[in-house]
Chains A and B, each alone.
Chain A
Amino acid sequence: MPKIKVKRASTTIDMTAMCDVSFLLLTFFILTATARQPEPLPVDTPASTVQIKVPDGNLGTITIGDNGKMFFGVTGPNVRVRMLERMSEKYSIGFSQQEKERFSLMEGFGVPMGNLKQIIAMDNNERGKPGLQPGIPSDSTGNNPSELHEWIIAARYATKEVNNAEMRVAIKGDAKEQYPAIKKAIDILQGQKINKFSLVTNLRTEDYGN
C-alpha cells in the first residue's frame, strides 16, 4: 500500500517584510524625536496629579533652583534673537550677528547682562558646568526694574512681534526651593500684570502621602 505523504507546512515565517516595516518606523521615530538639550540649571520639579502638558511654543520658562538662582529661557530661535536685540538696545550692549546666532541656540541662561557675551562665547559643555552661571539678577535697583523683569518683557514683545501670539510663562522650580524665591518670581510676573502662569511639575498618582 502506498503511503500518503502529508506535506508538512513550514513553521518558519518570512520576517523580511516585517523587519522592513519595523525599521522604517524606527527610523521615523528616531528622526522625529527632538534631542534633549542639556539644561543650564538642572532642577528636580515637584510632582502633581495634573495631566495637562506644557505648551510647545510661545513659552517663557523661569527656572528657579540652587538657592534662588533664576534662569530664563524662551522657545523659538527667532524669538530669542529678537529678545536679545531688544535687550541690547535697552542696556546699550552691542552683539554681533554671530553672537546672535549662537544665542538663538541657547535653551536658557542665567547671567547678568554684563556677562552675557562670555557665556555666548563658551561652548555647550562649558556652559553647563554647575555653579558657573550665577543667575539673572532679580532684585530691582532703585527705580530700575530687575534684569529678569526686563528679559521677560523683551521676550513677551519678541513673541508678539515674531509669532503674533501671547507668550505664556511657566515657572520651573526646584522642589526644595524655599518659598521666598518663588514669591520673588511671582511678584516680578505680577509686576507686569501676568496673573496667570503655569507651574511645571512631574506626574504622580493621587494616593501619595500616608
Chain B
Amino acid sequence: MAELNTGGKQQPRVDLTAMVDLAFLLITFFMLTTSLAKPHAMDVAMPDKDKENKDDNLEVADNRSMTVLLGANNKIAYYMGQLENPIDGPTVVDYGKNGIRPVLLEKLKSVQAATGKGLIVIIRPAETSNYRNLVDILDEMKIVNATQYTIGDIGEAEVELLKEQGIN
C-alpha cells in the first residue's frame, strides 16, 4: 500500500525480538510435550495356561535354570537348579546395577560356557512384592539381554525360604 508522506517522519517500528523469542519457546514446549507425554509400554508374554492340567509344569534342565524370587522390601533371593538341592544359592541381592545385574550377566556367561545353551530365568513374585519389583526385574532381563524368562507362581517351600532369609 502506498504510504502518505507525512513530513518525512520515520515509520514507528516495533522490536519483535522478544515476541519471536517467546513464540519459539512455546513452539519448543508444545513439540516436546506432544511426543514425550506418551507413556512407554513393556511387552510381556506369559506361558500358555492350561486349566485342565494345572500341575503340568515345564521341566527345565537344572544346570540352566535360575529361579528369582521377588521378596518384600525390594529384595531378591535367587538360586540355581532345584530348590531342595540348589547348585548355587539361595542368595539375597538388591535390584539394579550393583544387585541382580552382575549376577545375571555372570550366570548368562557361565551357563552358556558350560552347556552351550542359554540361561532360563524363572521369575516368581511373592505376595509381598509390589508391581515396581516385577517391572524392575523384567526390565533387568531386557538390559542383560536374557531372552528366555518366564513368570511363574510362587510355591509354599519358596515362601518358607523367603521367610528364612527375612525378606517376606
Interface residues of A (CB under 8 A from B): 12, 15-16, 18-19, 22-23, 25-26, 29-30, 32-34, 36, 45-55, 64, 170, 172-183, 186, 190, 193, 195-203, 206-210
Contact = CB atoms under 8 A, between A and B. Distances in A.
Contact of B98 (A45, A53, A210): A210
In the complex, which range does the number of interface residues on chain B fall in?
A: 35 or more
Given A29-B34, A170-B41, A179-B129, 15 more contacts: A23-B23, A48-B138, A53-B38, A54-B40, A64-B131, A179-B134, A193-B48, A196-B43, A197-B44, A198-B44, A199-B135, A201-B139, A203-B40, A209-B99, A210-B98
B60 interface: no
Given A29-B31, A199-B42, A182 B143 contact: no
B30 A29 contact: yes
Contacts of B24: 22
Contacts of A32: 34
Contacts of B126: 179
Interface in B3-41: 13, 15-17, 19-20, 23-24, 26-27, 30-31, 33-34, 37-41
Contacts of B16: 15-16, 18-19
A50 B44 CA distance: 12
A177 B143 CA distance: 24
Question: Which residue among A15, A34, A190 has the maximum number of chain B CB atoms within 10 Å of its CB?
Answer: A15
Nearest to A49: B139
A15 B19 CA distance: 9
Given A15-B16, A32-B34, A179 B40 contact: no
Contacts of B54: none
B142 to A, nearest CB: 7
A207 B49 CA distance: 35
Contacts, number: 159
A24 to B, nearest CB: 9
Contacts of B27: 22, 25-26, 29
Interface in B91-110: 94-99, 101
B131 A208 contact: no
Given A32-B34, A198-B41, A46 B46 contact: no
A175 B40 CA distance: 15
B104 to A, nearest CB: 13
B23 A209 contact: no
Q: From DSSP, what is the main secondary structure of chain B's interface residues?
A: mixed
Nearest to B127: A180
Q: From DSSP, what is the main secondary structure of chain A's interface residues?
A: mixed
A34 B35 CA distance: 11
B143 A206 contact: yes
Contacts of B142: 48-50
Contacts of B34: 29, 32-34
Nearest to A64: B131
Contacts of A186: 46
A199 B30 contact: no
B116 interface: no
A184 B31 CA distance: 38
A136 to B, nearest CB: 18
The 8 closest A-B pairs by CB, nearest first: A209-B96, A15-B16, A29-B30, A198-B41, A22-B23, A175-B132, A48-B139, A46-B132
